[in-house]
Chains A and B, each alone.
Chain A
């Protein structure tokens, strides 16, 4: 059974800092891994998807890396802004049709 852990659970930083959010998973036989953002009480917004054959993906100020063999992914946020404040969730899938397994997320607060 896949289990996902995200560290830290919460993070508070001043605007402009570069951040690293960590995600680890127990079953390395994943098909892909998605990073999501969730604003309080809202649905999930897909940020990045990394396929198992890829090492990283970039979108704007976001960069996600994947080390399948060690069961780790990191989300790097450059030059953080107050609008980045949200909970960030990572979720691997273990087969193409399969489901996402989520951790509890990292709650990020960026202060002006």
Chain B
């Protein structure tokens, strides 16, 4: 069983640029969620995808967008990068089924630095 993987590990971008982060879900999982974790804070929910459809969104502007592919891998895109976007971006996958328990498994994260 393969765990959740994310790429790249680290990324440095300039303010105003665009970035794409990638996530491969754990085998058999159909739901992926993205979180942003600023230094010293707990992760904050960005959005969730279930079977390629957005299934919920946190308090993030539209320049944060995402995709989920038929193989349940996912991308997080951020346009017009701002300095405050510097953070650890975490992807989590889970299996959504009627019986639950919907345990979420996290990847190692992508550290984004915006200069």
Contacts and interface: CB of A to CB of B under 8 A. Distances in A.
B102 A89 contact: no
Interface in B84-112: 88, 90, 92, 96, 100-109, 111
Interface in A9-68: 31-32, 34, 36, 41-46, 49, 51
A4 interface: yes
Contacts, number: 71
Contacts of B2: none
Contact of A97 (B58, B96, B107): B96
A45 B45 CA distance: 17
B28 to A, nearest CB: 16
Interface of A: 4, 31-32, 34, 36, 41-46, 49, 51, 89, 91, 93, 96-105
Given A36-B106, A96-B100, A99-B45, 13 more contacts: A4-B42, A31-B102, A32-B103, A34-B103, A41-B109, A42-B108, A44-B43, A44-B90, A97-B31, A99-B33, A99-B58, A102-B35, A103-B42
